[in-house]
Amino acid sequence: SQQGEEDPQALSIQEGENATMNCSYKTSINNLQWYRQNSGRGLVHLILIRSNEREKHSGRLRVTLDTSKKSSSLLITASRAADTASYFCATDEGGADGLTFGKGTHLIIQP
């Protein structure tokens, strides 16, 4: 199955700054999801955006989706040290085999 690709692979910013991560994918999708993984732990679902939506907000998170470019971005505003984690995009292509995950962006928030 084809994967989404996150960009950049790693990102280091100062606390309080905004962090932006991008995801590109290859096929038509029903929805796109973002997950966070703290070191050595399981993944936690952050937000889901459907293919007919262009933007979605949840707290300090803002996700955009451009289906014409097959890309999505995750913006974390006013970053905190606790946001340090890996972030994965996952695409739902509507098939019976669930989600396809990218390789992730490792975000480090410097205090």
Residues that bind another protein (CB under 8 A): 1, 3, 30-31, 33, 35, 40-45, 48, 50, 88, 90, 92, 96-99, 101-104
Q: Give the burial string for 70-108 (b: 16+ CB within 10 Å, else e).
A: bbbbbebeebeeebbbbbbbbbbbeeeeebbbbebbbbe
With respect to another protein, which residue has the nearer C-beta, 79 or 91?
A: 91
Spatial distance between the Cα atoms of 96 and 15, rounded to a whole number of angstroms: 40
- Measured from the CB of residue 7, what is the shortest distance to another protein in angstroms? 13
Work out how close the CB of 78 gets to another protein at its nearest, in angstroms, rounded to a whole number: 24
Query: In terms of CB distance, is 41 or 80 closer to another protein?
Result: 41
Shortest distance (Å) from residue 32 CB to another protein: 10
HSE-CB of 19 using CA atoms within 13 angstroms: 29
Least Cβ distance, residue 38 to another protein (angstroms): 10
